[in-house]
Amino acid sequence: MRALCLVLCLFVQAAAAQEDVGLVSALSGEVVLQKGIAKVFMKVREGDRFDVPPGAQLRLVYFSGSRQERWVGPASLRAGKRESEPLAGKPDVSVLPASAPQRLARIPELSQSALFGGVRVRGIKAPPATETEDSLREARATYAKMRRELPPDDLTPELFLYAALASGPDPGGEEASQLAARLRQR
């Protein structure tokens, strides 16, 4: 019975360690994720280890706590639930508006859409709109605030607004299409 409890506890710990806690919102250079290469717009799981070589950069957004970290190599870190555990180096940290993480969490799925440069499978319907005109007005105001406060090379405001527009009543509209085109160019 004790062995079963021990195995069950280890399984629960392993499952918790695999929880999505954030998003890689920007990369430059070849950032190593455990034994592979990190990709922009990939989800980050608690316990993921990143090695940022000299000259490379990594930007992470944590879903809980609205925290954004910018790591410049050389640096090493392990993802936690709300922030990274520095192993070497130190991040530049900024706090995002409270509504940002929930929208940014949609980016990995949205990056697969045809509008964003992915492949759309015929016959698959778009999910129903989760944003209203009121929430889109709020998203546009938050976008403008983020754009004023974050560095010009930070794409987080554009990703935030795109996630809101893509989940709105007109996901393929002109505003979303133009924003997706700007994101593809960067």
pLDDT at residue number 106: 87
Report which secondary-structure segment, H or E, holds 180: helix 174-185
Look at residue 114 and tell me whether its pLDDT is greater than 80.
no
- Report the distance separating Cα 106 and Cα 160, nearest Å: 9
Identify whether the C-beta of residue 46 lies closer than 8 Å to the C-beta of residue 18: yes
pLDDT category of residue 132 using cuts at 50, 70 and 90? very high
Look at residue 85 and tell me whether its pLDDT is greater than 50.
yes
β-bridge mates for residue 27, sequence order: 58
pLDDT category of residue 120 using cuts at 50, 70 and 90? very low
| Interval 151-179 mean pLDDT | 90
pLDDT at residue number 111: 76
For 58, left (φ over 0), alpha (ψ -120 to 50), or beta? beta
Vertex 40: Cα angle to 74 and 35 (nearest 5) = 60
Joined tokens for residue 53: 């070589």
Domain residue limits, the chain: 20-95, 100-185
DSSP 60: E
| Interval 22-47 mean pLDDT | 94
Q: What mean pLDDT value characterizes the chain?
A: 84
pTM check: above 0.85? no
